[in-house]
Amino acid sequence: MNTLRTITGFLLCLLLMYCSLSDSVAGERLPQVVQFNRHIRPILTDKCLHCHGPDANTREGELRLDDGQELILDRGGYHVVVAGKPQESELYLRLTTQDKEEQMPPVQSDRQLTTKEIKLIRLWIEQGATYQKHWAFIPPERSAIPDVKKSKWVRNEIDAFILARLEAETLAPSPQASRETLLRRVSLDLTGLPPTLAELDAFLSDDSRDAYEKVVDRLLNSKRYGEHLARYWLDAARYADTNGFFVDSVRSMWRWRNWVIDAYNSNMPFDQFTIEQLAGDLLPDATESQLIASGFNRNHMTTRESGVIDEEYRVEYVVDRVKTTSTVWLGMSMGCARCHDHKYDPISQEEFYQLFAFFNSVKETGLKNTYGNSPPLLKVPNSDFVAQLKKLREEVATTDKEFDKMKPELEISQTKWEKTVLAHLPELPEKGMVEHFDMEKPVQSGKPGLQKGLFGNAALLDGDAAMETESKINFERTDPFSYGGWMKLTSGSPACLISKNDDRNSLRGFDVMMRKGKAVVHLIHKWNIDAIQVMTKSSITTGQWQHVMVTYDGSGKASGINIYLDGKPQPFDIRYDNLRGSIRTSQPLRIGRRSTSAAFYGMIDEVRIYNRELNSEEVYQLASSQLLKALVSIPDKKRTTKEKEKLHKFFITEQAAAKFQKAYSHRNKLRKQLHHLESSIPTAMVMQELPKPRDTFLLLRGQYDEHGKK
């Protein structure tokens, strides 16, 4: 059975023979035997098939020169080709006539044949004009080993072919290279790496007759062999660990790459190599390895750019599979047939979409909603990873049991605390507060809805509604100030909580936004050459209430900013720190968007703005006192699950006895470690069929939404 090693060796041999033969055609000497596929088809493809090829839309004179039957057909008194008789063959006569009206290709075209090409066609006709189907459709046959004069020079079958060609050209083999050169050549050929000094010394000191063969065996058994040979396959399979489109973000296809390397190193049979990559997921009881192999057809580029049309890009992915599969396994390009019958190769547009149908029912989307790998996926942890997971899961289970034993005592402690907490809540900071929006009354401008929130009514925003107020505040770069409030985001898209920006004047002003899951603060004179931008390292919480507060000390520096989430200061990354100009603007204060962008989806409540820099204790009071007052005031039986969780978390992290806090902290630390480990399990993108296949249509002009024949 053919294996990757024998297939690879055979192809390399063919390449060497083809290159030497091509050199002969390119020179003055004509080949002794002219073959249609090797010598004639390339000429016809380049010079004639545009008008006389497979594509009926561009065909002239109802003549196909790529069809063997049409070449010998009686066309009413003449034939395009008469075997053995160039002077009776219309093909040759049209190439050599001096009549410019009859000459082909037409005189005005830029496709004129060279003298050498015309001689090749004449010689082909003289030798019988044997036609061959497109070479991609001819099953390879084992050639007979040629007879040679210097038979003692031959050490294997390939030598015989090489020597036969040399003798045909009246050339003699070069003298055998030195042992050092032989070792270097074979090492580079089989592993891509030069031999080490130790390997060279070992080879030079080995006087056995099979010393070279032993070196070859050693190199074939090296893992570097598979790594080296796989490189060529990875290129053909358009392997990449980035997505290609948009920002070319990272993805992970290395498990499929390793599968290819292992296939070479294990000398996998070529038919198995083919089947598992094209249909590993369709095999009965497919193994993990076979599923990973199907990643061949997931190596195409993908996109997660907002605004793209999902179906358009899904179709692009399927087209990519057709083109890659045809190039790699058929050895021909089918890409042209996406839009029309192929002009040069015997592939119709309908046949393109018949092959397209095989790849059209994958369970995927055109627009990828995540970074990294996109579904369908297979989790593929290695043995070390599995062991880590098992150990950590056992530790979490043990810690959970220990913590559960403490719950009755913890519940009693929390109940006692709830009865007294309201009496000890500190007053909220009022000094310097210049704006306070409690959302209890409808805000006229923007007309957001009102809905029960954490503290009574809250503003309900759907992306269209926002609040605007002609506030008197007009802070300058040198003024200390603070601003923030409570929010409950329902979307992960960019959203603005508070802004006083001028979109038409280089975004001058200030704001606090949510972008890419993080809180972002801007102070801007002219974006982005005269501005501050900072972004929290930790993520905001979507789907539940969270307090966000920004304080600024008036220094004009990013270091003068603090961002608090639920009353706790957050570390942040400084993106820009070059503010020099004014941030004053006549724009209104907006809650729930910038003037024309970053619309908010969710609820906003208790927005407060101060003309001074609040300290960390004051911000903590704003977040904790309001939260506790709201939650404790609700009877326990009427609290929602999230309200109970939020109150319990505050108590156990801020007010509970040390033993409870320590146990809770340890349990959470282990749970976070487990979550991080589980979320980082390596994945491989694989093929997976839909339960019901998609309908496939011939796409007119190749357009995704122009359906033709089903």
The pLDDT-based confidence of 9 (bands split at 50, 70, 90) is: low
The pLDDT-based confidence of 6 (bands split at 50, 70, 90) is: low
3-state helix, strand, coil in the chain (%, to 5): 45, 15, 40
The pLDDT-based confidence of 2 (bands split at 50, 70, 90) is: low
Give the closest residue to 167 by CA, choosing from 149, 145, 153: 149
What does each C-alpha distance from 238 to 27, 245, 257, 376 come to in angstroms? 35, 14, 11, 19
CA distance 93 to 80: 9
What does each C-alpha distance from 373 to 83, 252, 276, 299, 451 come to in angstroms? 58, 6, 21, 11, 39
**How many other C-beta atoms lie within 10 A of the C-beta of residue 200?**
16
Q: Take residue 190 and report the two structure tokens written for it.
A: 């089989």
pLDDT in tens, 264-315: 999 999 999 999 999 999 999 999 999 999 999 999 999 988 788 999 999 9
pLDDT in tens, 37-85: 999 999 999 999 989 988 888 888 889 898 888 888 888 888 999 999 9
Q: Take residue 131 and report the two structure tokens written for it.
A: 């036609």
The predicted structure's pLDDT at residue 23: 40
The pLDDT-based confidence of 28 (bands split at 50, 70, 90) is: low
- The model's pTM is 0.68
pLDDT in tens, 610-642: 999 999 999 999 988 888 888 888 888 888 888
The predicted structure's pLDDT at residue 170: 92
The predicted structure's pLDDT at residue 639: 86
pLDDT in tens, 467-494: 888 888 999 999 999 999 999 998 877 8
Q: Where are the domains of the chain?
A: 31-141, 176-221, 226-379, 433-641
pLDDT in tens, 357-394: 999 999 999 988 777 898 999 999 888 889 999 999 99
What does each C-alpha distance from 620 to 264, 562, 605, 647 come to in angstroms? 62, 13, 17, 15
Q: Take residue 529 and report the two structure tokens written for it.
A: 């050459």
CATH architecture of 433-641: Sandwich (2.60)
